[in-house]
Chains A and B, each alone.
Chain A
Amino acid sequence: MHTPLIGVSPEIIKIRELIDHVADTGLNIVITGETGVGKEVVSRVLYQQSPRNNKPFIKVNCAALPDGLLESELYGYEQGAFTGAEKKKKGKFELAHKGVLFLDEIGDMSLPLQAKLLHVLQSGEFAPLGSEREIKADTWVIAATNHDLAEKISDKTFRADLYYRLNIIKIYIPPLRERPEDILELVNFYTDEFITQFSNKNIKKLDNNTIDAFLSYHWPGNVRQLQNTLKRILILGNGKEIIEELKRGDTDFPDSSKSNIIKNTSRLSNTIIPSYNFDEEATDLSNFSLKEIRKKALDKIERDAILFILNKTNWNRSKASKILQISYKTLLYKITELNIEQPSAINE
């Protein structure tokens, strides 16, 4: 059972209506919107409402894998196609035959892979790496991106012909700040969900003060951030502090900063260097410990770096530990120690 599309805003109502009209068509779809708005939720609702709902739904994050790996993931390979290809492997296109292939972060796909994808969409056929045999697959492609693809076309980083072929149906999900009437609906839905999920009848619904803070906050990380914030308040119980942050509007949630970190590696260095505002007027310096400051700074840098790589690998901890050059066990320890939360949308 997957999350339904929650909301009462005209925008969400319109999206539901659009889904009703196109879910049975098998026409290519591009879902756009900021990080955390629910693009995967919409793709799953489309799938659930389609006649393909008893066939596979396969998700591939095009930004998480290097080019060669993404190509072999999508199209598969023959035994001996490259060093390390010990056994033949089916690609996701083939595995999603008669079902849905959800290509997340399509805007990050390289131009050579875009060319190959275009060929597959035009012909319905592809050859696994190292094979001359073309395989036919009836795969419904639903793509998603938080990039402006039209802008990427003018930058020549996205092919116009692929854009038109994918963009037969466009579903744009506006950010949560543009549809505040959905906030309460989302809060109620996820509160009930957490009560069920954690089998905890003692979870109290949000009080009016908290709801006001939720309604006036701008939610840069959108629904995913709201979901995580709510979970932290309801389950972990550190509500007061979070509500104050929401009211100040300076909440730094991993989810809201994450998308920006992913987009631009060069911005990582700006993001991870913590800034301290030392109080020039302070007279009590008894707690001013360089050791403590050093530890906090290192923790923050480590936390940001680990989160950055986890997001890059779509939370594949094994891959992340290899990239970070630490053991798998150390990574798990660090995730717990540094309180790094996995966004609930990434659960595969």
Chain B
Amino acid sequence: MNKQAKLLIIDDSDVIVEMLYQFLKSKNYDLVSASNGLDGIKLFNADADGFDLVITDIVMPNISGVGVISILKNKRPNLPIIAITGFGEHPESLAAEAHADVVLEKPIDLNILNQHISDLIRNSSTYQSEVK
């Protein structure tokens, strides 16, 4: 039960990645990060069942966050994904259409983010055990 949850962070901003990394490390998460959608998907594929949650930016080079969400949800429909956006309502609505579980707008409140992460992982593991 106390296994460290493994999170994938995908964002093209080094500053955001660093901030999330430092904060979530302090919350005892196992973290992997990528700076664009393609690298994020490759890292995910390398350990597809190992990740408990993905946090992705929306506007990024090559594969956008919306693309990342669609591709990952297609592989693992119950994978919890949090989308982070700072670019107005269009990408936000797209992120929701692509079935992001939570869409947060920048600047993000880290404590709220942490609350969402805990809730989503808890719900997802309840779901997993119910399925079993």
A171 touches B62 (CB 8 A): yes
Q: Is B38 an interface residue (CB 8 A)?
A: yes
List A residues 194-213 near B (Cβ within 8 Å).
none
Q: Is B77 an interface residue (CB 8 A)?
A: no
Q: Is A283 an interface residue (CB 8 A)?
A: no
Interface 9-mer from B46-54, B87-95, B104-112, B121-129? B87-95
Residues on the A chain within 8 Å of B63, using CB = 18, 21-22, 168-170
Q: Is B70 an interface residue (CB 8 A)?
A: yes
Interface size class of A (residues with CB under 8 A): 10 to 19
List B residues 42-84 near A (Cβ within 8 Å).
42, 61-64, 66-67, 70-71, 74
Is chain A's binding surface mostly helix, strand, loop or mixed?
Answer: helix
A165 to B94, CA, bound (A): 7
Shortest Cβ distance from residue B42 to the other chain A in the assembled complex, whole angstroms: 8
Residues on the A chain within 8 Å of B64, using CB = 167-170
B70 touches A164 (CB 8 A): no
Residues on the B chain within 8 Å of A18, using CB = 38, 62-63
Residues on the A chain within 8 Å of B61, using CB = 170
Shortest Cβ distance from residue B23 to the other chain A in the assembled complex, whole angstroms: 28
* A-B interface contact total, Cβ < 8 Å: 47
A27 to B41, CA, bound (A): 15
A25 touches B90 (CB 8 A): no
Query: Please, which residue of chain B has its CB at the minimum distance from the CB of A163?
Result: B90
Q: Is A17 an interface residue (CB 8 A)?
A: yes
Q: Is A324 an interface residue (CB 8 A)?
A: no
List A residues 154-191 near B (Cβ within 8 Å).
160-161, 163-165, 167-171
B94 touches A164 (CB 8 A): yes
Contact of A25 among B62, B74, B88 (CB under 8 A): B74
Is chain B's binding surface mostly helix, strand, loop or mixed?
Answer: helix
Residues on the B chain within 8 Å of A22, using CB = 63, 67, 71
Residues on the B chain within 8 Å of A17, using CB = 38
Shortest Cβ distance from residue A164 to the other chain B in the assembled complex, whole angstroms: 4
A312 to B86, CA, bound (A): 39
A25 touches B94 (CB 8 A): no
**Chain A window 52-70, contacts with chain B (Cβ cutoff 8 Å), 1 for yes, 0 for no:** 0000000000000000000
A164 touches B62 (CB 8 A): no
Which of B67, B90, B91 counts the most A-chain CB atoms under 10 A from its CB? B67
Indicate whether A168 sits within 8 Å of B67 (C-beta atoms), given known contacts A18-B62, A21-B38, A21-B41: yes
A170 to B62, CA, bound (A): 5
Query: Please, which residue of chain B has its CB at the minimum distance from the CB of A160?
Result: B90
**Chain A window 13-38, contacts with chain B (Cβ cutoff 8 Å), 1 for yes, 0 for no:** 01001100110010100000000000
Residues on the A chain within 8 Å of B94, using CB = 164-165, 168
Residues on the B chain within 8 Å of A25, using CB = 67, 70-71, 74
A164 touches B38 (CB 8 A): no
A161 touches B71 (CB 8 A): no
List B residues 1-55 near A (Cβ within 8 Å).
38, 41-42
A164 touches B91 (CB 8 A): yes
Indicate whether A27 sits within 8 Å of B70 (C-beta atoms), given known contacts A18-B62, A22-B63: yes
Residues on the A chain within 8 Å of B70, using CB = 25, 27, 168
Residues on the B chain within 8 Å of A21, using CB = 38, 41-42, 63, 71
B-side residues, CB < 8 A to A, are 38, 41-42, 61-64, 66-67, 70-71, 74, 88, 90-91, 94
A-side residues, CB < 8 A to B, are 14, 17-18, 21-22, 25, 27, 160-161, 163-165, 167-171
A selection of 8 A-B contacts at a CB cut-off of 8 Å is A18-B38, A21-B38, A21-B42, A25-B67, A27-B66, A27-B70, A27-B71, A165-B90
- The 8 lowest CB-CB distance pairs between A and B, nearest first, are A164-B90, A168-B67, A161-B90, A168-B66, A169-B67, A164-B91, A27-B67, A168-B64
